[in-house]
Amino acid sequence: MGSFFDFDFIFETIPEKHIFWDKEMFDNTDIRFLTGAVNCATGKTVWFEKEEIAPGFKVTIASCSIPILSKIVRHNGYDLFDGGISSPIPIEKSIADGNTFHVIVLTRNREFVDEPYSPANLLKLFYRKYPQLIETAIQRHEIYNRQLALCEQLERENKALIIRPHNPLTVEMLETNPKKLLKLYDEGHREGLQAIRFFDDTQ
């Protein structure tokens, strides 16, 4: 099975020829940076520290590889897919790591409720050797809604700042219209600033 996305262009051509990626600066910063991917064998999230992000970006590619649309990424003995399957909003990981305040960036408006994953039969067809992955993917909407409820509880307790769009998304998951994507980017930037300013004013 191939991939719908040109990861070679995204993670090789762009950082090498168009937008320079300063690996030395990335390595030397003392900020912790985690990347999550789902282990297909267990259906659980595997977390990678920034030291494992190197040219080739295999961990990063794994973290955004969507079942059916992408190939499984094999790294360090793991078969990996997008970490958003098992940890769509990784708030529990943030809490477990000891963080006491959380900045949470969501891509959906307040009224959004995640629905069951529709192509479940396709998952069973393509990934029958990974039953735990299938189970986790089918339960993803429950995981998302539970984690969202926890985020909103933390926000009410002034332990979190949630940044999210005011309106439902008007782009498709595989959107290719640059104008729509740039408009969404600008909207996210604008609403992010508004959320931060509102939070500052209420403290």
Mean pLDDT of the region 152-175 = 92
Q: What is the pLDDT of residues 8-58, one digit of tens each?
A: 998 889 988 898 888 889 889 999 999 999 999 999 999 999 988 877 889
Check whether 103 has a pLDDT greater than 70. yes
* 155 SS3 class: helix
Query: So what's the pLDDT on residue 197?
Result: 86
Instruction: Please provide the average confidence, as pLDDT, over all residues in the chain.
Output: 91
Q: What is the pLDDT of residues 104-116, one digit of tens each?
A: 999 999 999 888 8
Query: So what's the pLDDT on residue 38?
Result: 98
Query: So what's the pLDDT on residue 43?
Result: 97
Check whether 149 has a pLDDT greater than 80. yes
Count the neighbouring beta carbons within 10 Å of the beta carbon of residue 122.
Answer: 12
More confident residue, 67 or 203: 67
Model pTM score: 0.88
Query: So what's the pLDDT on residue 118?
Result: 66
Domain ranges of the chain: 7-164
Mean pLDDT of the region 151-167 = 94
Could you give the C-alpha distances from 28 to 11, 17, 54, 97, in angstroms and in order? Answer: 21, 23, 13, 21
Check whether 202 has a pLDDT greater than 90. no
Residues 60 and 55: their CA atoms lie apart, in Å, by 10
Mean pLDDT of the region 119-127 = 86
Residues 189 and 203: their CA atoms lie apart, in Å, by 22
Check whether 122 has a pLDDT greater than 90. no
